Amino acid sequence: MDALFDVWRFTLERLDQSIEGLTEEQAAWRPYPGAHSIAEMVYHVAGAEHWMATRLLGLDPEATERDARIDRSVRASFITDDPFPFGPAECSLADARKALGETSPLAERILQNPSDEILEKPLETPLGPTVPGVGGLWRIAQHSAYHTGQIWTYRSLPGFPTG
């Protein structure tokens, strides 16, 4: 399991590099109407960590209103047609990074030394299928890499704000 932890840390480091130095204008930019902003992608990564970690650890994913909103950010407007749970006033890059700072310790708790119980625990994924806990850990470990690639692509698109 050390490999999963290492991949997770590596992909988060790369995510951090992809958003380093961005302005709020850049983080809010959308290449077309309806596309997700970079800040929304960061919230979404935090939401995925929250979704998987709270369920694998047996925590209430809706313990607070903020927890519930972070949890919904993995699905809302990415997987479902529900509105994204953080409006423009709350969807700054700073706020999204703060959310990731709140969820990453939860993910770290399960990735660093998962018990056999966690590895075997049935887990409904945000997309719907149920997988063993180890499948959830694989998803957490690689998820931010996918969105990091999107962010670098956004940064190279015509029309991306120069900052």
pLDDT at 152: 98
Mean pLDDT over residues 59-85, rounded? 97
Residues 30-48 have pLDDT tens digits of 999 999 999 999 999 999 9
pLDDT at 1 over 70: no
**Which residue in the block uniquely carries the two structure tokens 């970690």?**
53
Among candidates 73, 93, 74, 84, which has minimal Cα distance to 136?
74
- In angstroms, the CA 85 to CA 15 distance is 21
pLDDT at 151: 98
Among candidates 118, 117, 96, which has minimal Cα distance to 45?
96
pLDDT at 2: 86
- In angstroms, the CA 91 to CA 109 distance is 26
pLDDT at 106: 96
Residues 110-149 have pLDDT tens digits of 999 999 999 999 999 999 999 999 999 999 999 999 999 9
Contact 40, 84 (CB under 8 A): yes
Contact 19, 144 (CB under 8 A): no
Question: How many Cβ atoms sit within 10 Å of the Cβ of residue 19?
Answer: 20
Cα-based distances in Å from 81 to 18, 34, 60, 84: 27, 11, 24, 9
pLDDT at 142: 94
Q: CA dihedral defined by 145, 149, 151, 154, rounded to 10 degrees?
A: -170
Residues 50-66 have pLDDT tens digits of 999 999 999 999 999 99
Which class is domain 2-156?
mainly alpha
Mean pLDDT over residues 61-88, rounded? 97
